[in-house]
Amino acid sequence: MKLTTALLTTAAAITLALSLSANAQEAQIRQALAERFPKLEKIDEVRATPLVGLYEVRIGTDLYYTDAKGDYVLHGNLIDAKSRRNLTQERVNKLLAVDFSTLPLKDAVTIVRGDGRRRLAIFEDPNCGYCKLLERSLQQVNDITVYLFLYPILNDDSTQKSRNIWCAKDKAGAWQDQMLRNKPAAAADCDTSALQRNLAFGAKHKITGTPTMIFANGSRVPGALDAQEVEKRLAEAAGGKSPSTP
Q: Whole-angstrom Cα distance, residue 22 to residue 51?
A: 15
Please choose, from the candidates 24, 19, 33, the residue with its C-alpha nearest in 3D space to the C-alpha of residue 66: 33
pLDDT at 14: 45
How does strand 45-48 pair with strand 54-59?
antiparallel
pLDDT at 60: 86
List, for residues 167-178, the tens digit of each pLDDT value.
999 999 999 999
**Cα separations in angstroms, 75 against 143, 209, 235:** 42, 22, 33
**Cα separations in angstroms, 96 against 3, 45, 83:** 47, 15, 23
Q: Which domains, and CATH codes, for the chain?
A: 2-96 (3.10.450.70), 100-238 (3.40.30.10)
pLDDT at 17: 44
Residues of the chain with pLDDT under 50: 10, 12-20, 244-246
Please choose, from the candidates 184, 189, 229, 238, the residue with its C-alpha nearest in 3D space to the C-alpha of residue 211: 229
pLDDT at 39: 82
DSSP characters for 107-145? Answer: GSEEEEETT--EEEEEEE-TT-HHHHHHHHHHTT--SEE
- The three-class DSSP label of residue 45 is strand
State yes or no: cis peptide before 246, omega within 30 of 0: no
Q: How many CB atoms lie within 10 A of CB 154?
A: 17
- The three-class DSSP label of residue 15 is helix
